[in-house]
A and B are shown apart, each in its own frame.
Chain A
Amino acid sequence: MAQGSTNAALSPWNVVALDTFQTPERTQASQWRRSWRAATTWMIGKEASERQAKQESELRALPEVKLAHVAPPIDWMPATERLKQALKGYEDAPVVLFISPPYGGHSTVVSQWAAQQDIPCLTVPTLKELVDGSLAWVEDATQLKRWAIPALEYHFLRHTNGLQSVRELLERALSGRLGQSVMGCDSWTYAYLQHAVGLEGVPVLTLQGLEGEQLAHYFSQAAGECPTVYSTRTGKSILTSDSDQKEAYKELQRLAAHCRGHLGIAWHYWRERLREPAEDSDSSDNNGHKCSDKEDSDTSQELWLLDALAEAELPTDTGDLATLLLHTLLIHGGLEDHALKHVLPFSDHESLNARFALARRGILSSQQGRWQVAPLSYASVRQLLESRNYLVDPL
């Protein structure tokens, strides 16, 4: 029983109302740390500002096969099950929103839920339909009693015509004329639509933010047999809890705070920042001393996690063009190149040049042709936008 309650407490799949969402402990401290790191990097250089117990040069990236084993793709099915249970409390609501930040899995979860319930999903309108303000795709919903939208962010455009159809859909749906629906929505789109269309009184669900211990539990479980993972920053094991628990999970608490408790983002860090010792390096640190926690461990199973904060940060003098582009991409859950001209007050080539520049620096990444803020840049981009008074998501 006690084991069961512990597992429940460590589950990363708690679906909660938006009002009760909480970022992990030390989230604010993580933002200060990021600013401090940026300042010290600027003053004394990147190398000097990063005190490491293990140098990155002694490590190498994991082969794809091993990575797939140690950090397999997230299976969102448990979240779908928890959403199904949570929706039982909203059977009378005409619309329920399930929101998550980029890479947070709302689209997959709602798709899986709809497939389980045998509920049709509305087709995504084309860019032309959105720019023309066509209501044809909204009419599809009038024939249905129950329906779902996995990703509402693809059903609107920040454009005078692009708002019309989603406004029409939400007005009809909220009045109950379209039966019942569940909509997955990016948290940034939700923030925007709340102002542009108005979503007062709509039940909004989300996944609760994860603490470091929950992340440790998830990564251990996902890898099957628990690997021994050390922090390159401290040289200490980060998944085990032999010593004082708070101290043991401190590194993953840093990661959780950095990712604002979002599993999707944390998983990308985990996958991208895991390393194994290079063949020609021994297990000693750069001073020739063994790291304290790993003296007796099996080096074949030994993995290292690079410092989460040692990522390419956006410079503080990032210009308006880049900032507006980043904000626009987040609000739309990513955009294709040819859609940029409809939503940005710049010429085609200006928008594309800015997009190219950000993509070259690894700030943006492309998924199925849509450019979105890369998962490892998300935290710094969000902090930058918040510091400049742009509308940010509630998560």
Chain B
Amino acid sequence: MEDQGQYAKLFNEMDSQALITLGLILVSTILLIIVSQRGLNWVANRLHGQVRFRVFALVPLTRLLILIAALAIAVPIIIEPSLRNMVTLLGAIGLAIGFALKDYVSSLIAGVVSAVELPYRPGDWVNIEGTYGEVKHVGMRTVEVQTPDDDLVAVPHLKLWDTAIYNANNGGTSLQCVASFYLHPEHEAGWVRKALRDVALTSAYLKFGEPIIVVAEEKPWGTHYRIRAYPVDPRQQFLFITDLTVRGKAVLSAAGIQPALLPPDAALDARGAAS
């Protein structure tokens, strides 16, 4: 009975005015979050370049600030915010969470961390455990990634703790693309290197001011060339790679350069079997 009385002392007396205030805070918070999230996403989707990513980065941060502000207003209405009261309350909540909602709350906390550390933000192209795509929305518990196949994948923020997050453009407009060419070993490598560089230089999608690198690597089945270059907009990456591939093939074919006779996997498999 005495314990019950002590816990009851934690909370303020809740009259109808306090309940109405809490209700108003709750409704306002929800409305503000919806309006800010939709508004910022709407604006960002109509922008281009670096500004787009800056506005996108504001989406989770704004939500976090609104939530903190709402909690800061609501908590003193519910409890007397003394140190003793806070420690007691947080201890009780922590105990409950530790047993029942560990992963859920861990994702929520990781969501807060993601809003501050920004390992991904809307507009980024990320790879999380093999899921590659554009970040469409950073929610409280999950990040929504749209894959090139138009699937929307919800990945819990929890992954932040123990999984590598590959971010291809990291809030910027520079995203490196790679187009591969597998050629028969007998060809003039210097000419191919120049020709492939020209293929990149003459692409309509090319972003100037970023390096264009042609990498050649000798393999048992031939030579593997890669053009590494950047498109003007990260969203053009697949069109850019396609353009490089189509025009690169045409140039190499016109010069009489043969592709590698065996697919790389088959060649490597054959080699592995032989050894």
Contact A316 B239 (CB under 8 A): no
Q: How far is the CA of A356 from the CA of B243 in the complex (A)?
A: 24
Given contacts A160-B195, A389-B207, A391-B208, contact A196 B201 (CB under 8 A): yes
Q: How far is the CA of A159 from the CA of B195 in the complex (A)?
A: 11
Q: How far is the CA of A328 from the CA of B204 in the complex (A)?
A: 7
Q: Mark B16-33, 1 if CB is under 8 A from A, else 0.
A: 000000000000000000
- Is there a chain A Cβ closer than 8 Å to B128's Cβ? no
Given contacts A160-B247, A345-B243, contact A327 B198 (CB under 8 A): no
Instruction: Across the interface, name the chain A residue whose C-beta is closest to B201.
Output: A196
Contact A390 B232 (CB under 8 A): yes
Contact A388 B204 (CB under 8 A): no
Task: Report B215-264 residues with CB < 8 Å from chain A CB.
Answer: 232-233, 236, 239, 242-243, 246-247, 251
- Is there a chain B Cβ closer than 8 Å to A135's Cβ? no
Contact B208 A345 (CB under 8 A): no
- Is there a chain B Cβ closer than 8 Å to A158's Cβ? yes
Given contacts A387-B48, A388-B49, A389-B173, contact A160 B251 (CB under 8 A): yes
Q: How far is the CA of A196 from the CA of B201 in the complex (A)?
A: 6
Q: How far is the CA of A327 from the CA of B233 in the complex (A)?
A: 14
Q: Mark A134-145, 1 if CB is under 8 A from B, else 0.
A: 000000000000
- Is there a chain B Cβ closer than 8 Å to A317's Cβ? yes
Residues of A with C-beta under 8 A to B88: none
Q: Mark A154-172, 1 if CB is under 8 A from B, else 0.
A: 0000111011000000000
Residues of B with C-beta under 8 A to A359: none
Residue from B49, B173, B205, B246 within 8 A of A324 (CB atoms): B205
Q: How far is the CA of A271 from the CA of B140 in the complex (A)?
A: 58
Least Cβ distance of A381 to chain B in Å? 14
Contact B49 A387 (CB under 8 A): yes
- Is there a chain B Cβ closer than 8 Å to A344's Cβ? yes
Residues of A with C-beta under 8 A to B12: none
Residues of B with C-beta under 8 A to A343: 202, 204
- Is there a chain B Cβ closer than 8 Å to A289's Cβ? no
Least Cβ distance of B211 to chain A in Å? 11
Q: Mark B187-209, 1 if CB is under 8 A from A, else 0.
A: 00000000100110111110111
Least Cβ distance of A330 to chain B in Å? 12
Residues of A with C-beta under 8 A to B202: 158-160, 162-163, 196, 343
Q: How far is the CA of A389 from the CA of B243 in the complex (A)?
A: 19
- Is there a chain B Cβ closer than 8 Å to A195's Cβ? yes
- Is there a chain B Cβ closer than 8 Å to A280's Cβ? no
Contact B48 A195 (CB under 8 A): no
Residues of B with C-beta under 8 A to A92: none
Q: How far is the CA of A327 from the CA of B48 in the complex (A)?
A: 16
Q: How far is the CA of A158 from the CA of B202 in the complex (A)?
A: 5
Contact B232 A389 (CB under 8 A): yes
Least Cβ distance of B155 to chain A in Å? 28
Residues of B with C-beta under 8 A to A327: 204
Task: Report B157-207 residues with CB < 8 Å from chain A CB.
Answer: 173, 195, 198-199, 201-205, 207
Residues of B with C-beta under 8 A to A225: none
Q: How far is the CA of A79 from the CA of B236 in the complex (A)?
A: 42
Q: How far is the CA of A127 from the CA of B49 in the complex (A)?
A: 34
Instruction: Across the interface, name the chain A residue whose C-beta is closest to B247.
Output: A160
Contact A388 B48 (CB under 8 A): yes
Q: How far is the CA of A387 from the CA of B46 in the complex (A)?
A: 12
Instruction: Across the interface, name the chain A residue whose C-beta is closest to B48.
Output: A388
Q: How far is the CA of A391 from the CA of B51 in the complex (A)?
A: 17
Instruction: Across the interface, name the chain B residue whose C-beta is closest to A320.
Output: B236
Residue from A159, A160, A163, A195 within 8 A of B208 (CB atoms): A195
Task: Report B21-60 residues with CB < 8 Å from chain A CB.
Answer: 46-49, 51
Contact A195 B49 (CB under 8 A): no
Residues of B with C-beta under 8 A to A320: 233, 236, 239
Given contacts A159-B202, A160-B251, A389-B232, contact A345 B239 (CB under 8 A): yes
Residues of A with C-beta under 8 A to B173: 389
Q: How far is the CA of A324 from the CA of B207 in the complex (A)?
A: 12
Q: How far is the CA of A159 from the CA of B232 in the complex (A)?
A: 18
Q: How far is the CA of A162 from the CA of B201 in the complex (A)?
A: 12
Task: Report B118-152 residues with CB < 8 Å from chain A CB.
Answer: none
Given contacts A316-B46, A388-B48, A389-B49, contact A158 B204 (CB under 8 A): yes
Contact B201 A163 (CB under 8 A): yes
Residues of A with C-beta under 8 A to B203: 345
Least Cβ distance of A259 to chain B in Å? 24
Q: How far is the CA of A343 from the CA of B201 in the complex (A)?
A: 12
Q: How far is the CA of A328 from the CA of B232 in the complex (A)?
A: 14
Contact A317 B46 (CB under 8 A): yes
Chain B CB within 10 Å, residue with most, of A159, A324, A389, A390: A389
Q: How far is the CA of A283 from the CA of B46 in the complex (A)?
A: 43
Residue from A159, A316, A344, A389 within 8 A of B233 (CB atoms): A389
Q: How far is the CA of A327 from the CA of B236 in the complex (A)?
A: 15
Residue from B199, B204, B209, B251 within 8 A of A344 (CB atoms): B204
Least Cβ distance of B253 to chain A in Å? 12
Residues of A with C-beta under 8 A to B49: 387-389
List of 9 A-B pairs having minimum Cβ-Cβ separation, nearest first: A391-B208, A345-B243, A388-B48, A160-B198, A196-B201, A324-B204, A158-B202, A195-B208, A389-B49
- Cβ contacts A to B, 10 pairs, < 8 Å: A158-B202, A195-B201, A195-B208, A196-B201, A317-B46, A327-B204, A344-B204, A345-B239, A388-B232, A390-B232
Apart from A320-B236, A345-B243, A389-B173: 4 A-B pairs, beta carbons within 8 A: A316-B46, A317-B46, A345-B205, A391-B209
